[in-house]
């Protein structure tokens, strides 16, 4: 069975717990990297383990959640082979898979409801990369 790694900071705990249930219902295994508390934590401590799992192939996709999703997205994109995308609606979640072959979805807990986060995740997971003209652009991302 395929694994999805998920992590969040204190702002994303409720969203993470909701999405863990959704991921399991969709038939995936979940590697929950935390946090499980609303006590303030540093988002890189959770974004790096999720990114490493995707980078090494331990997980096929990653999900990262923080208040704005900017911090986790910036952190994840420091890893080679990671294409983390900040998503705020279902259409963006679809296009980042279609055109950018994103492998981590970053969700802003303070700006997207849990329901919207679930819909974005479902679209992200069900959308395949188009390849073609987009592949040459993906090939130019790494430094």
Among all residues, which ones are annotated catalytic? Answer: 66, 99
CA end-to-end span of the chain:
33
The Cα angle at residue 80 between residues 54 and 48, in degrees rounded to 5: 55
Three-class secondary structure of residue 31 per DSSP: strand
> Which residues are bridge partners to 1 per DSSP?
none
Element (H, E) at 108: strand 104-108
CA distance 14 to 121: 15
């Amino acid at each position: 069975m395929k694994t999805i790694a998920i992590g969040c900071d204190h702002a994303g705990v409720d969203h993470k717990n909701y999405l863990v249930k959704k991921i399991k219902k969709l038939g995936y295994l979940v590697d929950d990297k935390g946090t499980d508390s609303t006590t303030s934590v540093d988002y890189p401590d959770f974004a790096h383990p999720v990114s490493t799992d995707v980078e090494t192939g331990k997980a096929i996709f990653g999900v990262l959640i923080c208040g704005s999703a900017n911090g986790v997205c910036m952190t994840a994109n420091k890893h080679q082979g990671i294409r983390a995308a900040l998503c705020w609606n279902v259409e963006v979640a679809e296009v980042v898979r279609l055109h950018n072959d994103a492998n981590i979805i970053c969700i802003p807990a303070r700006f997207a409801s849990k329901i919207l986060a679930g819909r974005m995740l479902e679209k992200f997971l069900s959308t395949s990369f188009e390849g073609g003209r987009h592949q040459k652009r993906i090939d130019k991302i790494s430094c």
